[in-house]
């Protein structure tokens, strides 16, 4: 089976990858990069394509999906960051002497 062949994935995994890919494209990521990231996310969550044999299954970890969409530092407003900076400056000034 050549690299990139998606025949060993379940229909559910294919749907998940498609949905994740759309989310990346909505955020301005190129089509090729979005597809690559989507399949990486599916692989990380489910452990790759379907595998045969008793006892081969395991629970899925969806931490990477929950993390998606959050951008670094975007959770705080500018006024919150400013207040924290002012508080830190006051603390350093007070502790200096």
In a domain, 28, yes or no: yes
Number of domains present in the structure of the chain: 1
The CA distance from 6 to 15, in Å, is 12
In a domain, 43, yes or no: yes
In a domain, 54, yes or no: no
pLDDT of residue 1: 66
The CA distance from 42 to 60, in Å, is 10
Structure-block tokens of residue 50:
């379907």
Taking residue 54's Cβ as centre, other Cβ atoms within 10 Å add up to 5
pLDDT tens digits, one per residue of 32-75 = 999 999 999 999 888 888 777 777 777 888 887 777 656 555 66
Q: Which domain holds residue 20?
A: 7-49
**45 close to 19: Cβ distance less than 8 angstroms:** no
Average pLDDT rounded to a whole number, residues 12-41? 92
Tell me if the pTM is above 0.85. no
């Amino acid at each position: 089976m050549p690299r990139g062949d998606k025949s060993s994935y379940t229909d559910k995994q294919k749907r998940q990858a498609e949905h994740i890919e759309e989310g990346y494209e909505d955020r301005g990521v190129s089509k090729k990069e979005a597809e690559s990231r989507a399949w990486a996310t599916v692989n990380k969550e489910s452990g790759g394509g379907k595998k045969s044999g008793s006892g081969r299954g395991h629970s899925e970890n969806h931490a990477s999906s929950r993390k998606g969409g959050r951008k670094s530092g975007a959770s705080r407003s500018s006024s919150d960051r400013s207040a924290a900076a002012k508080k830190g400056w006051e603390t350093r000034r007070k502790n200096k002497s």
